[in-house]
Amino acid sequence: MPTKRIDLLICCGSGCISAGSLKIKEKFIELLKENNISDEVNIIETGCMGPCDFGPVMMIYPEGIFYKKVTVEDVQEIVVEHFLKGRPVKRLMEQDKEVPVTVKDDIPFYQKQVKVALKNCGYLDPESLDEYIALGGYEALGNAMTNMTQEEVVNVIKKSGLRGRGGAGFPTGMKWDFVRKAEGSPKYIVCNADEGDPGAFMDRSLLEGDPHRVIEGMMLAACATGASKGFFYIRAEYPLAIKRIKKAIVDLKANALLGENIFGTDFCFDIEVRTGAGAFVCGEETALIASIEGKRGQPSPKPPYPANSGVWEKPTLVNNVETLANVPTIFQKGAEWFASMGTEKSKGTKVFALTGDIANTGLVEVPMGISLKELIFDVGGGIVGDHKFKAVQLGGPSGGCLTNDHLDVKIDYENLLEKGSMMGSGGVIVMNDTNCMVNIAKFFLDFSVDESCGKCAPCRIGLKQMYAILDKITKGEGKPGDIEELEVLGNSIKQLSLCGLGQTAPNPVLSTIRYFRHEYEAHINEKSCPTRVCLDLINFNIDKDKCIGCSLCARRCPTSCITGSREEKYTINQLECVKCGNCLDVCPVKAVSKEAGMHPDIIQHKEKLAREAEENEL
Amino acid sequence: MKTLADLKKIREKAQADMKLRNSNVRVKVIVGMGTSGIAMGARDVMKTFLDEIAAKGLNDVLVTQTGEKGFSSMEPVVDVVEDGKKRVTYGNMNVEKAKKVVAEHLINGNPVAEYVIATEE
Contacts with A609 (C-beta within 8 Å, 6 or more apart), sequence order: none
**Which pTM does this prediction carry?**
0.89
Give the pLDDT mean for B106-114. 82
What are the chain B neighbours of A7 within 8 Å (beta carbons)? 18, 20-21
Buried b vs exposed e over A427-436: b needs ≥16 C-beta within 10 Å?
A: bbbbbbeebb
Give the pLDDT mean for A419-447. 93
Strand ranges inside A349-418, DSSP E: 349-356, 362-367, 389-394, 400-403
What is the share, in percent, of chain A residues with pLDDT greater than 90?
80
What are the chain B neighbours of A253 within 8 Å (beta carbons)? none
pLDDT class of B121 with cuts at 50, 70, 90: low
Q: Torsion angle of alpha carbons A262, A263, A266, A271, nearest 10°?
A: -20
> What is residue A81's predicted lDDT score, i.e. its pLDDT?
87
Contacts with A36 (C-beta within 8 Å, 6 or more apart), sequence order: none
CB B17 within 8 A of CB B11: no
Considering only CB atoms, A257 lies closest to which of B1, B51, B62, namely B1
| Three-state secondary-structure class, residue A424 | coil
CB A402 within 8 A of CB A372: yes
What are the chain B neighbours of A84 within 8 Å (beta carbons)? 33, 38
Determine, for residues B7 and A138 on separate chains, whether the beta-carbon distance falls below 8 Å.
yes
Condensed to tens digits (0 to 9), the pLDDT of residues A188-246 reads 999 999 998 888 889 999 999 999 999 999 999 999 999 999 999 999 999 999 999 99
Q: Any bridge partners for residue B81, and if so which?
A: B28
Looking at the predicted structure, is the pLDDT value of residue A2 above 60?
Answer: no
Least reliable range by pLDDT among A323-327, A425-429, A437-441: A425-429
Determine, for residues B25 and A62 on separate chains, whether the beta-carbon distance falls below 8 Å.
yes
Q: Mean pLDDT, chain A, as a whole number?
A: 92
Amino acid (one-letter) located at B66 = T
Give the pLDDT mean for A147-170. 94
Task: State whether residue B117 sits within 8 Å of chain A by CB.
Answer: no
Looking at the predicted structure, is the pLDDT value of residue B40 above 80?
Answer: yes
Looking at the predicted structure, is the pLDDT value of residue A312 above 90?
Answer: yes
> What is residue A251's predicted lDDT score, i.e. its pLDDT?
95
Looking at the predicted structure, is the pLDDT value of residue A1 above 50?
Answer: no
Q: Mean pLDDT, chain B, as a whole number?
A: 82
Which residues of A lie inside 8 Å of B (Cβ-Cβ)? Answer: 1-7, 9, 40, 42, 61-64, 84-87, 123-124, 130-131, 133-136, 138-139, 142-143, 146, 255-257, 263-264
| B23-120 CATH | 3.40.30.10
Determine, for residues A40 and B7 on separate chains, whether the beta-carbon distance falls below 8 Å.
no
For B53, the closest chain A residue by CA position comes to: A3
Q: Any bridge partners for residue A275, and if so which?
A: A234
> CA A305, CA A270: separation in Å to the nearest integer?
23
Condensed to tens digits (0 to 9), the pLDDT of residues A469-517 reads 999 999 999 999 999 999 999 999 999 999 999 999 999 999 999 999 9
Chain B: give the shortest CA distance to residue A122, in Å. Answer: 12
- Omega prior to B76 cis, within 30 of 0: yes
Kindly list the strands in the beta sheet with B116-120, ordered across the sheet, starting from the edge strand earlier in the chain: B61-66, B27-32, B78-82, B87-90, B116-120
Condensed to tens digits (0 to 9), the pLDDT of residues A341-351 reads 999 999 999 99
> CA A137, CA A124: separation in Å to the nearest integer?
12
> What is residue A516's predicted lDDT score, i.e. its pLDDT?
96
Task: State whether residue B18 sits within 8 Å of chain A by CB.
Answer: yes
Condensed to tens digits (0 to 9), the pLDDT of residues A94-126 reads 877 667 776 677 777 888 889 999 999 888 899
CB A228 within 8 A of CB A312: no
What are the chain B neighbours of A62 within 8 Å (beta carbons)? 20-21, 25, 62, 64
